[in-house]
Homo-oligomer: A and B are copies of this chain.
Amino acid sequence: MNKKNKKNYKNSSKKFNKPARKPMERITKVSFVKDIRDGLTEKANLIGKINRVVQTGGPTVFVISDGTGSLSLKGFVGPGQRAFPEIEEGDSIKAFVKIEEFQGETEGEIIKINKLSESENKDFLKSIENIEKERATILPPEFLVKDKILDKLRDLFIKAATEIRLAIIQDRPIIVRHHNDADGYSSGFSLERAILPLIEEQHGSEKAAWEFFQRAPCQAPFYELDDSIRDTANSLRNVAKFSNKMPLVIIADNGSSEQDLMAIKQGKIHGADFIVIDHHGFDKDVISPEVKVHINPFLVGEDGSDFSAGMLCTEIARFINPKVKNISQIPAMAGFADMIQLGNPKVMEQYLKIAEKEGYTKELLSDISLVIDYVSTRVRFMEVREYIEVLFGEPREKQKKLVELMAPYIRDLNAKGLAMGKSNAQQEKLGKITLQIVEIDKTFPGFGFYPRPGRAIEMVHEDLQSEKGITSLVTAGIMNTAITLRATDEANFSVHDLIEFIKKKSPDSFVNGGGHKNAGSINFLPYKKDEVVKLLKEFIKER
């Protein structure tokens, strides 16, 4: 997307399907699919590319697309017999057809059909490309708030939005895969709100919202090879059964790390493409070369703790679809869920004001975020699109009632989880630093328990600070093969340094892990647990 193109799109109210001007002027009296769908023509000349050939027990159906929409053309020579066998998928054709209505859909009955000559084809492909590009092009809006991170990422936003629009225009399914927490759901939902109406408009049907779009959380905090194999397998099935194209996959609030690389490469082999919108850190950017667009504050010298993925995706949603609705409250909620007020209080203030205008107080946003967190642990990998809509305020009244019912209930669960954690927490002074240990497997009831271990440990960690005023504190939730860690600034901790330390002292532990300086987790072999805990203490003593 070049900046010089921008001036063409002053008129942002143009319809998504309508190209600004007619291509291939050389060929006279050619109609656009879009125009045929709009009104009733009796007969028409069409030029298009064959996307699909379906042999029914009756006629042969050719689905063509000319950049403005898709249309089914029927050829009949005998029941179940292949009509026009010379015309195949991928061919560009011109056809003279009779326009009919069949079972509520507009269709064409082929009177004459021919492949384009080489020069016609060249012209046509150029023109279809232009139409699609033109329709994909956006008029970038102002951001909701002022922030240098947004300014630095603006060009990438334009590129991502254009690619997403182009995928819709080219009838590619879109899969949004997001982090399984409140910021991740916020990211996925704001994109969904922008994309779904465009898909419905493109295909002229509400059903298309289910056929060409899917949003689902990742279970791990990255896009796993497992996710990728499953997405690929499902997409290949849709290609085989419904002649779908391979999807554009948008990974939101995940996707920037080395751990996402294999999954992305795997999907690409089968024809999927990827866009990543993340704010998590990474050691080295191995993702950008593999994806259409990679958006992350760290890529422009900024810090991901200053801007959440839900914030980024809401702004991008407004680039994708200028008419997008019910998302302006999302950045504030997503931001609080990821504690952006600590890193970037100014941007939080601006977003909160916008949310408040929509009737969302800070307390309500926090409650909604709590409910999303809880529900995400119950629905796991399921999409539950309509239920998520309620959580995000569609309709507002149900959202309110649901949050009023569930937030107090979840707060009780959290309070109980905290009490359980405290009942078995051991403190130990290591130099100036207090180490607090909770043996998770021995303390909490196990599978399916809410709050999740990481959250329970966080609460125990915060509670000791506020109750006892301990400011130099590390809290460790110890499991059989992992430890989840929280530290105060004063403790001068670093998850990354700890990992390096253990790797050196005990290579057979096969330690790895990740997270931020003050919050993260490490994994190791189960028989090395005691050794790793010993090393953790040594590490803290030496800080």
Assembly CA distance A387 to B390 (angstroms): 35
For residues 368 through 385 of chain A, which have their beta carbon under 8 Å from a beta carbon of chain B? 375, 378-379, 382, 384-385
Q: Is the CB of A379 within 8 A of B229?
A: yes
Q: Which residues of B contact A114 (CB under 8 A)?
A: none
Q: A57-B105, A104-B57, A420-B510 are in contact. Are A80 and B204 (CB under 8 A)?
A: yes
Q: Which residues of B contact A322 (CB under 8 A)?
A: none
Q: Smallest CB–CB gap between A473 and chain B, Å?
A: 22
Q: Smallest CB–CB gap between A37 and chain B, Å?
A: 6
Q: A269-B402, A386-B239 are in contact. Are A442 and B101 (CB under 8 A)?
A: no
- Residue of B at shortest CB range from A74? B104
- Residue of B at shortest CB range from A106? B79
Q: A386-B237, A446-B480, A526-B446 are in contact. Are A229 and B375 (CB under 8 A)?
A: yes
Q: Is the CB of A269 within 8 A of B401?
A: yes
- Residue of B at shortest CB range from A239? B386
Interface size bucket, A side? Answer: 35 or more
Q: Smallest CB–CB gap between A261 and chain B, Å?
A: 10
Contact with B along A321-333 (1 / 0, CB 8 A): 0000000000000
Assembly CA distance A229 to B380 (angstroms): 12
- Residue of B at shortest CB range from A228? B378
A516 in the interface (beta carbon within 8 A)? no
Q: Smallest CB–CB gap between A31 and chain B, Å?
A: 14
Which label, helix, strand, loop or mixed, suits the secondary structure of the A interface? Answer: helix
Q: Is the CB of A225 within 8 A of B481?
A: no
For residues 206 through 264 of chain A, which have their beta carbon under 8 Å from a beta carbon of chain B? 206, 210, 225-226, 229-230, 232-233, 236-237, 239-241, 262
Assembly CA distance A398 to B481 (angstroms): 37
Q: Smallest CB–CB gap between A264 and chain B, Å?
A: 11
Contact with B along A269-301 (1 / 0, CB 8 A): 110000000000000000000000000000000
Assembly CA distance A229 to B402 (angstroms): 11
Assembly CA distance A481 to B447 (angstroms): 11
Q: Is the CB of B405 within 8 A of A266?
A: yes
Q: Which residues of B contact A143 (CB under 8 A)?
A: none
Q: Which residues of B contact A525 (CB under 8 A)?
A: 420, 423-424, 442-445
Q: Is the CB of B526 within 8 A of A442?
A: yes
Assembly CA distance A55 to B230 (angstroms): 34
Q: Is the CB of A39 within 8 A of B270?
A: no
Q: Is the CB of B57 within 8 A of A205?
A: yes
Q: Smallest CB–CB gap between A134 and chain B, Å?
A: 24
Counting every copy of the chain, the complex holds: 3
A103 in the interface (beta carbon within 8 A)? yes
Assembly CA distance A226 to B39 (angstroms): 49
Q: Is the CB of A262 within 8 A of B386?
A: no
Q: Is the CB of B233 within 8 A of A57?
A: no
Q: Is the CB of B40 within 8 A of A79?
A: yes
Assembly CA distance A526 to B210 (angstroms): 44
Q: Smallest CB–CB gap between A133 and chain B, Å?
A: 26
Q: Which residues of B contact A416 (CB under 8 A)?
A: 510
Q: Which residues of B contact A385 (CB under 8 A)?
A: 237, 240
Partner of A233, one of B79, B239, B386, B442: B386
Q: Which residues of B contact A270 (CB under 8 A)?
A: 390, 398, 402
Assembly CA distance A390 to B423 (angstroms): 52
A58 in the interface (beta carbon within 8 A)? yes
Q: Is the CB of A378 within 8 A of B237?
A: no
Q: A386-B236, A416-B510, A445-B526 are in contact. Are A57 and B265 (CB under 8 A)?
A: no
Q: Which 9 A-B pairs have the closest CB atoms?
A: A58-B104, A56-B104, A236-B386, A233-B384, A442-B527, A233-B387, A423-B508, A57-B105, A269-B401
Q: List 28 A-B contacts (CB under 8 A).
A: A40-B79, A57-B204, A57-B205, A58-B101, A58-B105, A58-B106, A79-B104, A103-B103, A210-B241, A229-B375, A229-B387, A233-B382, A237-B384, A237-B386, A239-B386, A262-B409, A266-B402, A269-B401, A269-B402, A420-B510, A423-B508, A439-B527, A442-B525, A442-B526, A442-B527, A443-B527, A444-B525, A445-B526
List residues of chain A with CB under 8 Å of any chain B CB: 37, 39-40, 55-59, 78-80, 101, 103-106, 204-206, 210, 225-226, 229-230, 232-233, 236-237, 239-241, 262, 265-266, 269-270, 375, 378-379, 382, 384-387, 389-390, 398, 401-402, 405-406, 409, 416, 419-420, 423-424, 439, 441-446, 480-481, 508, 510, 523, 525-527
